[in-house]
């Protein structure tokens, strides 16, 4: 189980958010860049659920899009099963592409409203030419619908006839139809109500057991992440601040940001607890603080944190990017 399926090394992505050229000339503005993902390195092992958590603007979704190839990295590389995704020729890339799929947040936007459900689900089968000789794709679609808890007759309907939870099931069926090994789930349940969320999370875990899937699970909801993840990476302003085993992260968080985040989550069991008030808000990513991006909000920050960028270092089983932890000040 230690074999890495996806390797992400020094991944960066920069967006140009400058004003148009004429404005820049007239207003004497310089070009502006937003570093959405900054030198991120992690691996996803076969059969595990690797979760990325972080608040808005931390770069979670950008990483998801980079991994499935919807946008190109500005630096660093991603390899899938030992093959560098960026250097693949188009035909081998196509083969590789069929092995990973994505589930999006909003099931209302990710399903084509003019297509019947069976066509939506069969699209990957057709695109990747997986029909085979004798296998009837119709039959495969029916099987998939039943796997995700819908009935085979639902294939003839259109997406608008389904509720949010059912649509997310359709999106899952579509992702499964190419028989992928790896599924990137970008906030798969945040548009759903809690009771429906529970159904989808249970379904995703069942499918993982059945097909040995590997998930990259992206969410801002720590309790959902705790429920799903084997290992967790915590992002803050485009940088990984902590990577740990799921249980360890919640029992023994190292990075001050992780501690703050865990403390801030309202939880059922914590009625009436006294809480340390959280300081400040996420800074503007166009103009991030120098040194450790978290230092303006950190109680442990010193001069070094303001000038130097900490790297991920291994402490026990947890990787943390924090000088306070390195120096034993935490």
Partner 1 sequence: MSDALLTVRDLVVEFPTRKGILTAVDRVSFEIGRGEVLGVVGESGAGKSMTGSAIIGLIEPPGHIAGGSIELAGERIDNLPLEAMRKVRGKRIGMVFQDPLTSLNPLYTIAEQLIETIRTHLKLSERDARARAIGLLDEVGIPAASRRIDDYPHQFSGGMRQRVVIALALCAEPELVIADEPTTALDVSVQSQIIDVLKNMCAEHGSSVMLITHDMGVIAEAADRVAVMYAGRLAEIGPVRDVIQDARHPYTKGLMGSIPTLMHDSDRLTQIPGSMPRLTDIPPGCAFSPRCPKAFDRCFAEQPSCKAHEDREVACLLYDEGARP
- Could you list the residues that contact partner 1 (CB under 8 A)? 55-56, 163, 165-166, 193-199, 201-202, 205, 220, 222-224, 226-227, 247, 250, 260-273, 275, 277-278, 281-282
Smaller CB separation from partner 1, 109 or 135: 109
Q: How far is the CB of 248 from partner 1 (least distance, A)?
A: 13
DSSP sequence for 95-157? HHHTTEEEE-S-TTTSS-TTS-HHHHHHHHHHHTT---SS--HHHHHHHHHHHTT--GGGGGS
Confirm if 83 and 166 have CB atoms less than 8 A apart.
no
Q: How far is the CB of 250 from partner 1 (least distance, A)?
A: 6
Smaller CB separation from partner 1, 99 or 157: 157
Whole-Å CA distances, 263 to 14, 165, 235: 31, 30, 16
Return left, alpha or beta for 10; rule: phi > 0 is left, psi -120 to 50 is alpha, else beta: left
Smaller CB separation from partner 1, 163 or 307: 163
Q: How far is the CB of 54 from partner 1 (least distance, A)?
A: 9
Per-residue tokens: 92? 């081998």
Per-residue tokens: 256? 């001050």
Smaller CB separation from partner 1, 65 or 227: 227
Which of helix, strand or coil describes residue 41?
strand
Q: How far is the CB of 284 from partner 1 (least distance, A)?
A: 9
Smaller CB separation from partner 1, 97 or 239: 239
Per-residue tokens: 46? 């076969």
Q: How far is the CB of 264 from partner 1 (least distance, A)?
A: 4
Per-residue tokens: 247? 């249980």
Q: The tokens 């548009």 sit on which residue?
A: 191
Smaller CB separation from partner 1, 26 or 265: 265
CA–CA gap between residue 15 and residue 18 (Å, rounded):
9
Neighbours of 116 (CB within 10 A): 15
CA–CA gap between residue 219 and residue 112 (Å, rounded):
24
Q: The tokens 């009436």 sit on which residue?
A: 272
Smaller CB separation from partner 1, 78 or 229: 229
Smaller CB separation from partner 1, 29 or 161: 161
Q: The tokens 């998939």 sit on which residue?
A: 144
Q: How far is the CB of 188 from partner 1 (least distance, A)?
A: 14
Q: How far is the CB of 63 from partner 1 (least distance, A)?
A: 18
């Amino acid at each position: 189980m230690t074999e890495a399926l996806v390797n992400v090394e020094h991944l960066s992505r920069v967006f140009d958010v400058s004003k148009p050229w004429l404005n820049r000339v007239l207003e004497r503005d310089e070009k502006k860049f937003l570093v959405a993902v900054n030198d991120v390195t992690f691996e996803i092992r076969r059969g595990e659920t690797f979760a990325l958590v972080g608040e808005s603007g931390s770069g979670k979704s950008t990483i998801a899009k980079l991994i499935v190839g919807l946008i190109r990295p500005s630096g660093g590389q991603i390899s899938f099963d030992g093959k560098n995704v960026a250097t693949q020729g188009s035909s081998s890339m196509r083969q590789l592409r069929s092995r990973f799929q994505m589930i999006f947040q909003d099931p209302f936007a990710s399903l084509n409203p003019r297509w019947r459900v069976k066509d939506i689900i069969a699209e990957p089968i057709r695109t990747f030419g997986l029909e085979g000789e004798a296998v009837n794709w119709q039959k495969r679609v029916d099987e998939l619908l039943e796997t995700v808890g819908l009935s085979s007759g639902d294939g003839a309907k259109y997406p608008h006839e389904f509720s949010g939870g059912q649509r997310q099931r359709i999106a899952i069926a579509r992702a499964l139809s190419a028989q992928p090994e790896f599924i990137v789930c970008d906030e798969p349940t945040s548009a759903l109500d809690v009771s429906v969320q529970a159904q989808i999370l249970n379904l995703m875990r069942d499918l993982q057991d059945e097909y040995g899937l590997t998930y990259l699970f992206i969410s801002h909801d720590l309790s959902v992440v705790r429920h799903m993840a084997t290992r967790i990476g915590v992002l803050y302003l485009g940088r990984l601040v902590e990577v740990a085993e799921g249980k360890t992260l919640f029992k023994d968080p190292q990075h001050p940001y992780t501690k703050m985040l865990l403390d801030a989550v309202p939880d059922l069991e914590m009625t009436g607890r006294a809480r340390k008030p959280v300081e400040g808000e996420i800074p503007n990513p166009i103009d991030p603080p120098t040194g450790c991006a978290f230092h303006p909000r950190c109680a442990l920050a010193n001069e070094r944190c303001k000038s130097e960028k900490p790297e991920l270092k291994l402490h026990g089983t947890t990787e943390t990017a924090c000088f306070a932890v390195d120096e034993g000040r935490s």
